[in-house]
């Protein structure tokens, strides 16, 4: 029950609340209807590059990437845009881990499944460490390594 203030009665109180929403303009069709996330993203957040680089060893010429868009882990051999074919032992190791050659992107790729996403990422990092060590040994790099 809402009571209205009677100007002649100083003891009566107004219990009706007002909200700021009523004062805001209503957005009509065709106007900027961007979602909150879109508006926030435009102003303060930058998107992560796709694919996202996880690890890289320039001496060995091997890099590990994750593509969230394609839901895959990828290993690339070579420095920059120059592709360097790894030895057959490295290729066999990558194939044994379930990776497949993707000629359009020039990477060895493995899907990241929703149910096993964390395990897929951990296994990809282990494989990366294994093949980069194999390549370093093949190239004769036995000196101390500089961590990340």
What are the respective helix, strand and coil percentages of the chain, to the nearest 5?
30, 20, 55
Q: What is the pLDDT of residue 16?
A: 47
Mean pLDDT taken over the chain: 76
Domain boundaries, the chain: 52-139
pLDDT of residue 41: 52
Classify residue 34 as left (phi > 0), alpha (psi -120 to 50) or beta: beta
CA distance 20 to 125: 52
pLDDT of residue 126: 96
pTM: 0.62
Higher pLDDT, 114 or 31: 114
Distance CA 53, CA 66 (A): 7
Signed CA dihedral, 25, 27, 42, 65: sign only: positive
pLDDT of amino acid 137: 92
More confident call, 29 vs 59:
59
Is 129 exposed, middle or buried (CB count within 10 Å of its CB: 0-12, 13-18, 19+)?
A: middle
What digits encode the pLDDT tens for the residues 89-135? 999 999 999 999 998 888 999 999 999 999 999 999 999 999 999 99
Give the pLDDT band (50/70/90) at residue 19.
very low
Least confident of 78-82, 124-128, 140-144: 78-82
**Does 37 have pLDDT greater than 80?**
no
């Amino acid at each position: 029950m809402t009571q209205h203030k009677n100007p002649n009665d100083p003891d009566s109180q107004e219990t009706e609340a007002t909200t700021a929403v009523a004062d805001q303009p209503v957005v009509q069709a065709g106007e900027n209807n961007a979602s909150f996330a879109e508006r926030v993203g435009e102003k303060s957040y930058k998107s992560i590059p796709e694919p996202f680089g996880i690890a890289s060893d320039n001496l060995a010429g091997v890099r590990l990437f994750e593509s969230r868009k394609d839901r895959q882990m990828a290993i690339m051999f070579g420095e920059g845009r120059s592709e360097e074919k790894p030895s057959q032992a490295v290729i066999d190791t990558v194939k044994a881990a379930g990776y497949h050659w993707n000629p359009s992107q020039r990477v060895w790729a493995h899907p990241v499944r929703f149910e096993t996403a964390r395990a897929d990422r951990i296994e990809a990092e282990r494989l990366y460490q294994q093949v980069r060590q194999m390549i370093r040994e093949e190239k004769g790099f036995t000196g101390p390594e500089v961590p990340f």
